[in-house]
Amino acid sequence: TANMPDAGTGNYALVGGTTPTATYNGVSQLGQLVNGNLTVNFYSRSVGVNINTKFGTTNVNTSSSAYFSSGSSSFRGCSGNSQVNGIFTGTLAYRAGLVYSTYVGGTLGNVTGAAAFQRTSGNPYFND
């Protein structure tokens, strides 16, 4: 579990993930995980999620707002057609992992995957 700060911010870069999968009418196709990032405000307990995937020539963006409870290391949220569920790990929430799902319709249907992130900047701290 994470040693969760209660103030400050954090910016996280994508460090890896699963191959995204699009499923439509029972048929799955594999895509490419292109990039992603998280922006976190520990005071308001909010997480901005942005993940970009690609299936052939079609770009799919998973963008969502998520939230976590005070002292909790897990977060979840949904915005539009996207849903995310994740967790922070490490000292001062140094890393994060999540699963995502975005409904895009058409021949892609629902795009799903998992991604891992590491904090690259920010100043999370404990507000005494």
Any idea where the domains of the chain sit in the sequence?
9-120
22's CB contacts (< 8 A; 6+ apart) are 28, 29, 30, 31, 55, 60, 104, 108, 109, 110, 111
Residue 48: pLDDT over 70: yes
pLDDT, average across residues 70-91: 96
Q: In this predicted structure, what is the pLDDT of residue 71?
A: 86
Cα dihedral across residues 77, 125, 11, 98: positive or negative: negative
d(CA 86, CA 16): 14
CATH of domain 9-120: 2.40.160.90
Confidence of residue 2 (pLDDT cuts 50, 70, 90): low
Residue with tokens 């701290």: 125
pLDDT above 70 covers a percentage of the chain that reads 98
Residue 128: pLDDT over 70: no
Structure tokens at 72: 């909790």
